[in-house]
Amino acid sequence: MTAFPAGTAADAGLACCHLCYKLAPVAMHECPRCGSSLHLRQPDGIQRTVALLVTASLLYIPANVLPIMITTQLGNKIESTILGGVVLLIQMGSIPVAAVIFIASVLVPIGKMVALSWLCWSVSRRQKTSHRQRTVLYRVTELVGRWSMTDVFVVTILVALIHFGGLLRITAGVASIAFGGVVIVTMLAAESFDPRLIWDHLGDEDD
Amino acid sequence: MSAEHYACIHCDLPLAIGELRGGQRALCPRCGHLITACGHDALQRALAFAAAAIVLLVLSNAFPFLSLKANGLKSVMTIPATAAELHRDGYTTLAILVLGVIVAIPGAILAVVMALVIPLLQRRNAPWLVPAGRLLFQLSPWSMVEVFVIGVIVSLVKIHHMATVVIGLSFWSYVGFSLCFAATLANLDRLQVWREIEARRT
């Protein structure tokens, strides 16, 4: 048995507006306060989330394989990937910065994609346990997503700052766009997942 | 105002939430989601921080952000020049993305906050209250001001050993801007703002 209070507003045909949190009958179609369209649950939430996750994981390949930054020193081109940059920072002895980049560019995006996939899977097979933990996992996923942009910003700043003509010059690599895409698409994926699905079917334990 | 019916946005538990006093918060009893928090003089504070943030945002685009000195050569970075540099290299998408999330979207959010909070504080209705409220909460997830500040700090650590880095006026303005911007959004609780808008509309 569950210790949680049962019931959802959707059972009563009431929808909470995703934009202004007004509760209104879903039959109204439009929120009476802000005019957004009302839905009991995000339309096709799981399908959209899965589609965006597939897109993000495909983009993640070029983001890691292709160079994110190109250093040209006296005609010599050195291309560096995300992981290459982390290794370089460790060799330089900047362990904390290497950790920041590794967490932001590797752990967070992968963790986010795994977490959202698992949430989609657990919801679609109507998992009856750890409702609260899964909701917290979703909240964390939603919160940390933006921080993956750190490495893209670092590249941007270095490109803008280091241009000494033929002596030394840094340009952005294709991976920077791919990685920016990963961040945007995973943010959209988190936004299209509806955490209320975790709590549906809470009452019907017997089936 | 009597208790308003509400359903938790994270677990859809039907709830009734009464009027909160300054400093009170309402949490969902089932999933623990922070539904709403009522600050002390939240609208006044939001307006004050937004006004400061606008000034600091303008300053941070007007002066050198960082400059680099190495072997008699000097290179200066400003925020607008950063986007221009990326565009010159053929990375226009990246230039738009970066400038969007660190300057354009935060700037738009601040303009919307001004347009929304001033009429609310004067307790008068305005035809743009609802669109402004919608825009504010649609845009706010897409600002990455504080992430950029971390990016700048990481860049400083990466380059400090190879040249002399001079921190410009715009750097400090942007750090101040990021703090004021975060404080502005922290004072604009979604449910409280929409209750205010609704009270002015009727």
**B36-62, pLDDT tens digit by residue?**
998 889 999 999 999 999 999 999 999
Grade residue B190 by pLDDT with cuts at 50, 70 and 90.
very high
Q: Tens digit of pLDDT for each residue in B111-132?
A: 999 999 999 999 999 899 999 9
Q: Are B176 and A7 spatial neighbours (Cβ–Cβ below 8 Å)?
A: no
How far apart are the two ends of chain A, measured CA to CA in Å?
13
Query: Which of A164-168, B16-20, B178-182 is least confident?
Result: A164-168
The domain segmentation of chain B, as residue ranges, is 1-40, 41-201
Q: Which residues contact B142 (CB under 8 A, 6 or more apart)?
A: A187, B100, B101, B105
Q: Tens digit of pLDDT for each residue in B133-152?
A: 999 999 999 999 999 999 99
The domain segmentation of chain A, as residue ranges, is 1-40, 44-199
Q: Do B11 and A97 touch (CB under 8 A)?
A: no
Closest of B8, B27, B32 to residue A131, by C-alpha: B32
Question: What pTM was computed for the model?
Answer: 0.91
The minimum CA-CA distance between A140 and chain B, rounded to whole Å, is 12
Contacts of A196 in chain B (CB under 8 A): 9-12
User: Which pLDDT score, from 0 to 100, does residue A3 have?
Assistant: 67
Q: Which residues contact B21 (CB under 8 A, 6 or more apart)?
A: B38
Domain A44-199 in CATH 1.20.140? The answer is yes
Q: Tens digit of pLDDT for each residue in B72-110?
A: 888 899 999 999 999 998 999 999 999 999 999 999 999
Query: Which of A11-20, A77-86, A198-207 is least confident?
Result: A198-207
Find how far residue A156's CA is from the centre of its chain: 21
* CA pseudo-torsion sign A101, A105, A106, A111: positive
CA dist B137 and B141 (Å) reads 8
Contacts of A137 in chain B (CB under 8 A): none
- If residue B36 lies in a helix (H) or strand (E), which one and from where to where? strand B34-37
CA dist B184 and B180 (Å) reads 6
Helices of type H across chain B = 42-62, 79-88, 92-99, 105-121, 129-139, 145-159, 169-186, 190-201
